[in-house]
Amino acid sequence: MAEFEIDGIRLNVPDEMLNPKLTGKLSTGGYEAHEAHAARMRLREGQRVLELGSGIGYIASVCSSITGPENVTTVEGNPDMLPVIRGNLERNGFAAVTVLHGAVGGMKSTPDPIEFDTKKTFWAARLADMDSAPDAVVSVPHLGLGDLLKACRPHVVIMDIEGAEEHLFDAPWPAYIRAVMLELHPGRYSDVVIKRIVDCMSDSGLTYDPGSSRGRILGFRRVRDGNLRA
């Protein structure tokens, strides 16, 4: 088990889940640095957070340190990552975070499971497709974003779900959401999908947020009235 620390957050990762590139990022603080920057910029104490794609629990820990662990819900599809996530949250005093197992495949949950590709590299795990190796595919609960939003009523949504975001921007999101940060995966869909994401956020009363946007992290914040200078 390898041990790392990024900005005071202690992370343990099983040796078999590491490669030299990931080890380097964890050692230098570059792991999910853009996501952490966005969360620190926009989160406020007491705000509720919904994170899709937990990874090793780092961003959920960052959010918990700001808003309180009882206000954070994080979702992970890869069953192998659940003990890692819970261990890292507990290690940092954030055991009160709600950890949900399942993959978000659309806006509505279904009673039937969904196929999930666990991958050898956990950060690339995603919904299974024709390219998935059969021995890497597992059936996991099929969660719906709309149902999660109703249950959690988050002020902030953070997602990194390896292309599954393509299915989540067909209709406006609720007005209680104040900010959204997501990692785009343009290698998995066309510019048409990116335009649909941006249009959906605009229709939801959210605008592009240059402060929280870096690299492939695209940030949105709720439009604020009266912020124009005369």
pLDDT value of residue 70: 98
Query: Cα–Cα distance between 54 and 108 in angstroms, integer?
Result: 20
What's the confidence (pLDDT) of residue 229? Answer: 43
164 Cβ partners below 8 Å, 6+ apart?
A: 103, 104, 105, 126, 127
pLDDT of residue 228: 43
What does the pLDDT read at residue 224? 83
Residue 230 pLDDT:
34
Return d(Cα 79, Cα 139) in angstroms, integer.
10
Regions of the chain with pLDDT less than 50? 228-230
Single-letter residue type at 140 = V
pLDDT of residue 6: 97
